[in-house]
Amino acid sequence: MLKQICTLSNSILVYFFIGVSCLTTLPIAAKNINTFIYIPAGSLSDSLREVANAYAVSFSSNPSLINDKTTSILVGDHTLAQALDFLLRGSELTYEIQDNGFVIFQKK
């Protein structure tokens, strides 16, 4: 009986760690998932924050690059890359999608 309890306990731990590892890789997978988003026209800074929230990722940028810039309304099913392409089109900015989010920087 004790041996069965230990085996069950070990099995539960294995499944727990598998589940946790799947959760930690979810943001990486999220970049390829279409997500319905509605982002009203407004500041680029706010729009990028809303995109990061919609895809459960983080983002970073030099504030001087994104402050005082505006974007058009974005509505529909988009991957993370499609949303960023739309928000940054016509600007001197680009992005890089990384494991847990994206970085905004100036085009070279």
Give me the pLDDT at residue 69, please. 96
Q: Which helix (H) or strand (E) holds 76?
A: strand 74-78
What is the reported pLDDT for 5?
A: 52
7-41: burial string, b at 16+ Cβ within 10 Å, e else: eeeeeeeeeeeeeeeeeeeebeebbeeebebebee
Domains of the chain, each with CATH number or no CATH: 31-106 (3.55.50.30)
For residue 7, CA distances in Å to 2, 20, 21, 25, 45 come to 9, 20, 21, 27, 51
β 101-106/58-60 pair status? parallel
Rounded CA separation 69/52 (Å) = 17
Identify the pLDDT of residue 41. Answer: 96
C-beta of residue 100 within 8 angstroms of C-beta of residue 31? no
pLDDT at position 36: 94
Q: What is the pLDDT of residue 7?
A: 52
pLDDT of residue 90: 93
Tens digit of pLDDT at every position of the chain (108 positions) = 555 555 545 544 444 444 444 444 445 545 678 999 999 999 999 999 999 999 999 999 999 999 999 999 999 999 999 999 999 999 999 999 998 899 999 998
Q: How far is CA 59 from CA 8, 31, 56, 100, in A?
A: 41, 13, 10, 8
- Give this prediction's pTM: 0.72
